[in-house]
Structure 1
């Protein structure tokens, strides 16, 4: 698969992985649609990209699941079609289960799971009509195994795998592809913006996140996985081995994560 002449829609495009994708894909002879909540920041990202004339900005809030059809119609009208939807938008969480308000769990599910699902379902008829389409979903290694202080985040990411595995099965006949991207630690602001027990932002960087993969290096590997139309790609450092350890022995991954004392 190449990005040549494709229309790629990226959510969560205002910073971190989404911004990195915009900057690198802008050089791939494709058209981009950038979405997140803040139009001014999206415009800033667009203007930092090469070929900004091939980039459109479409503000979108993933928590507003009832208006996704209107967003999809507008997105299609910008360049006449959508070929690839990169579901990158979302938030994280850092707090013990016993202290975490159920409202935090609800918000993580609404944004990370239901928002992504609602947007993807709204776009699905367009993909089916064209007998072509590619969903790229930025999940996490926490969608494959778990870690302490991320219960709501792990729950939402695990749910994404269940939904998109089913979608891949149902629409294989329509030539619709699904690639699940599972990052490990990537040096973005995801930890600073993570919700704590009462719903407030953590406000500081995790040590492991700070030592994570550089965004540009991560995005290069992610783009390679999309080109290969991989079902799943695990991108990070040593932490990616947790996926394989979990398959071998759930008890062993439990012990290893306990010893890591990751927070």
Structure 2
């Protein structure tokens, strides 16, 4: 993919990986649509992106999402690539964690990201082109202590994306799943603890992680090469991700099932 002249819509764009993706995409010639809840911070990122459209909304608000989708599509005549990046992490033992924490993380990190994609797959399929990029995590490959809710949603997001990729494999729409390890962001500081409040402090691993700008560049380079599964990590985290990497041959096999009429036979009750 050449990003020049493409319209890229990024959720969670006010900081961290989302903001870094927006700035890098802009440098590569893309038009950026920036979404998140904090309009002032989104505008600060937009100021670095040349021509950009700021669409603030809460990803859990279906009506606001639908309104933002229509504006994003009509701004430049279509959305070429969408990054499902919004999310919140966790730092608490399962034994201590209130169910409201699980429900909130599922709503933000999984259900809302699926809704974001569902709102665009018809548009992209009708055009016969486009790409969806889902930001999962190394915690979506390997279960990590203190992150049971976060692992659940990141595994789930990857499962949805892999199945969606197969369904769209004959449509011209690509699907990419990104698995970051520790990246220098506020993810740990904003993570929810057992009672649902924000943790308020970072982790050493995050603070010493990959700079967000470097991580974003790696992600975009991999998307440009057409990679379906993108691991962005170092050291032990990279080893964990690579150990659980899905072979391209398996993706091809599932796509081949679709090409051979698997979905039509299922719908016919065969």
In the superposition, the TM-score normalised over structure 2's length comes to 0.88
Structure 1 pair 182–78 and aligned structure 2 pair: CA distance change class (3 A) = same
2:134, 2:2 → 1: CA distance?
18
Answer yes or no: is 1:109 the counterpart of 2:109.
no
Q: Secondary structure at the match of 1:180?
A: strand
1:21 aligned residue: 21
Contact 1:65/1:114, CA 8 A, preserved across alignment: no
1:167 aligned residue: 164
1:47 aligned residue: 47
Q: Which runs of 4+ in 1 moved over 3 A?
A: 244-247
Stretches of structure 1 that go unaligned for 5 or more consecutive residues are 248-263
Q: Secondary structure at the match of 1:14?
A: coil
Counterpart selection for 2:120 from 123, 130, 153: 123
Question: Which deviates further from its counterpart, 22-31 or 198-207?
Answer: 22-31
Contact 1:183/1:236, CA 8 A, preserved across alignment: yes
- Cα shift at 1:69: 2.4
1:127, 1:246 → 2: CA distance?
30
Answer yes or no: is 1:243 the counterpart of 2:246.
no
1:88 aligned residue: 85
2:260 aligned residue: none
Counterpart selection for 2:175 from 161, 169, 178: 178
1:2-17 alignment runs, 5 A limit: 2-17=2-17
Contact 2:58/2:64, CA 8 A, preserved across alignment: no
1:70, 1:47 → 2: CA distance?
23
Across the aligned residues of Structure 1 and Structure 2, the Cα RMSD in angstroms comes to 1.4
- Cα shift at 1:144: 0.7
Contact 1:65/1:119, CA 8 A, preserved across alignment: no
Number of residue pairs the alignment of both structures matches: 245
Structure 1 pair 32–246 and aligned structure 2 pair: CA distance change class (3 A) = closer
- Cα shift at 1:122: 0.9
1:75, 1:245 → 2: CA distance?
38
Q: Secondary structure at the match of 1:119?
A: helix
- Cα shift at 1:177: 0.5
Contact 2:57/2:64, CA 8 A, preserved across alignment: no
Stretches of structure 2 that go unaligned for 5 or more consecutive residues are 246-270
- Cα shift at 1:245: 3.6
2:154 aligned residue: 157
- Cα shift at 1:67: 4.0
- Cα shift at 1:228: 1.1
In the superposition, the TM-score normalised over structure 1's length comes to 0.90
1:169, 1:150 → 2: CA distance?
29
Counterpart selection for 1:187 from 184, 188, 193: 184
